[in-house]
Structure 1
């Protein structure tokens, strides 16, 4: 009888431990759990202009959003597409490296800094559209479509012309999608060689200080300056933050909104 009681107690203890373990796993946060989301109070920063900002801490997976509705709305990427264009161009050898120069064709364009020879890197820095249009033609429709599909870039629609589809045309992407794309680039989790992604991240350096480095790319709808983008990420000693901003205005305006927010969040010292 004593042995039976002992066995019963052991069985009960085993069942209790088993159920406790099951409950622990059932209520533990999953690795696939969605990141926590927070609303940003940026009404004064955006000065009543139509816009949105998505900011993600890659260390904690916390996401901060201003104007959540607009953050999911797709707009043409304009020159922010240069990030993807550079990745594709390098990967398919449409250009050899970031130093490859294309000669200016002599056509005078909107900004004096465009009216000279450029390399892939300098054309990224100065947002010289003609260089990236020429590279897109060298990439070709088939290769461009293949990679736009593979990286899940927005609506993936490049029917607006091989050298114009990202410029107030068929290709559209949301701020949420831009942030996801940049996050994959930061983590080198895109379908490109590691060397290609490292090169483009280096080309994107927009501001390098002792306390932080900002990698970013603006984009502006040049026809009326009615849409501006600033996408990228900032590295600090505390971690990496991905950002994607669009607003009714120029790319320079979107950039200023982003920098002001990063300062308010005390990400930039």
Structure 2
């Protein structure tokens, strides 16, 4: 009887180990991903966008649609990343919890029509909050920091509270990757605490083994198309990858579409869980 119990326990142990091994084998380790071999053709059937994935440890980079990846276009709400860094650095806001009060003007999205903090302004992409902060930063300081960070074409001639919104400021997807890498590594010319705060308010998803930092951006419709961004960094098991998606959409405002496509690509390569 005692021997039978021992045999049963051994069998049970082997079965559990087998199941665990089977499950773990489905999750690739970050080191097993060859960035150069990534294929995203299925997500861009009409060639209407670009996608970049850079392994920040190996420095290898995958680029879909290289021509578009090098073209500068308006950053729209992805500029909230840079705007937050500058605002915190020059004390236009003291921290991520500083409240700006809604002026009572009804805007397109209901969740904009209330008081916001820097953190909630980032999460809900509240344009008025960032416009007010940009006015508080002012032209001189804004230009100084765009120059110091070599952010895109550095052109703020479109107006201090409009230049990033379908206006004069332009940045390419490849330049976005360089900027995001600097933010992740904390090598941009900002205080370390400022960069840590901005990364924290950029968190979109967290799993047991990964953190996804990101920001969308969208244009309005022109000739039936909206252009959108989703840019950020995903860190899986401590291994960081920077990404940038820029695409055109007829389906709706393009930022959420760019995010959806990016999430599907990251899931395909097990960088985030489903």
Assess same fold via TM > 0.5: yes
Tell me how far apart the structure 2 counterparts of residues 84 and 158 of structure 1 sit (CA, whole Å). 13
Which consecutive unaligned segments of at least 5 residues does structure 1 have? 1-35
Secondary structure at the counterpart of residue 62 of structure 2? strand
Secondary structure at the counterpart of residue 232 of structure 2? strand
Secondary structure at the counterpart of residue 170 of structure 2? coil
Judging changes above 3 Å, is the alpha-carbon distance between structure 1 residues 238 and 196 closer, same or farther for their aligned structure 2 residues?
A: closer
Q: 2:94 corresponds to which residue? A: 96
Give the number of the structure whose alpha-carbon radius of gyration is greater. 1
Return the TM-score normalized by structure 1: 0.84
Q: Does 1:213 pair with 2:211?
A: yes
Q: 2:259 corresponds to which residue? A: 255
1:206 touches 1:215 (CA, 8 Å); kept in 2?
Answer: yes
Secondary structure at the counterpart of residue 221 of structure 1? strand
Judging changes above 3 Å, is the alpha-carbon distance between structure 1 residues 129 and 223 closer, same or farther for their aligned structure 2 residues?
A: farther
Judging changes above 3 Å, is the alpha-carbon distance between structure 1 residues 223 and 48 closer, same or farther for their aligned structure 2 residues?
A: closer
Q: Cα deviations across residues 140-194 of structure 1 (Å, max 9, x unaligned)?
A: 0000000001111001101000000000000000000001000000000000000
Measured after TM superposition, the shift of residue 238 of structure 1 is: 5.1
Q: 2:13 corresponds to which residue? A: none
Question: How many correspondences in the alignment?
Answer: 234
Judging changes above 3 Å, is the alpha-carbon distance between structure 1 residues 72 and 40 closer, same or farther for their aligned structure 2 residues?
A: farther
Tell me how far apart the structure 2 counterparts of residues 68 and 41 of structure 1 sit (CA, whole Å). 14
Tell me how far apart the structure 1 counterparts of residues 41 and 125 of structure 2 sit (CA, whole Å). 29
Return the TM-score normalized by structure 2: 0.82
Tell me how far apart the structure 2 counterparts of residues 100 and 151 of structure 1 sit (CA, whole Å). 25
Q: Does 1:131 pair with 2:129?
A: yes
Q: How does 1:164-203 map to 2 (within 5 A)?
A: 164-203=162-201
Q: 1:146 corresponds to which residue? A: 144
Measured after TM superposition, the shift of residue 40 of structure 1 is: 4.3
Tell me how far apart the structure 2 counterparts of residues 146 and 223 of structure 1 sit (CA, whole Å). 32
